[in-house]
Amino acid sequence: MASSKVIIVFVLPVIFSIIFGSAVMADTLQKPDRELNMWPMTFSGNSSHDSDIEIIGLENQYSVSEPVQIQVKINDSSFSCGDLYITIYTSGSGDVVTQGGFFNQCVKNGNLLPNNDNFSKIVDSPGSYKIVADVVSTDLSNISTSGTFTIK
């Protein structure tokens, strides 16, 4: 039989930790605007400057069967290589509709990305959408831009 000292020293702290942790998690999960950032990134000086990156080929309106095709132009001379992420969100709600990742992209002729590939996605529901292009360089600096379009 375990002595009372063993219970006080080993078992009670475990029980209190579980109770306290559960209370904190329950409170956190009740807040709808909470966001879990599992991959925190450091943002250096030129984050989100539209002059450093721009979306090329984005139309204001597309039909349901027409693909959204874009390229990204990098105007930042310090960028050489990195990963390009393009994500389409539902405007207002922020729900992800579709996304594409293009890894190990290096700036070549004309500074257009993706290299030897293209971003072409069909959005099949009418509505308003936001497209975001993020470029994460090999030194983990991030530049991004966004645009909006509608599907009729």
Q: What are the extents of the domains in the chain?
A: 53-151
- The mean predicted confidence, pLDDT, of the chain is 82
| Amino acid at residue number 83 | D
User: For residue range 83-101, what is the model confidence (pLDDT) as tens digits?
Assistant: 999 999 998 888 899 999 9
User: For residue range 35-68, what is the model confidence (pLDDT) as tens digits?
Assistant: 655 555 544 444 444 468 889 999 999 998 899 9
Could you name the CATH architecture of 53-151?
Sandwich (2.60)
pTM: 0.64
Share of the chain above pLDDT 70, in %: 83
Q: Do 74 and 54 contact (CB within 8 A), yes or no?
A: no
Beta-strand pair 81-90/67-74: unpaired
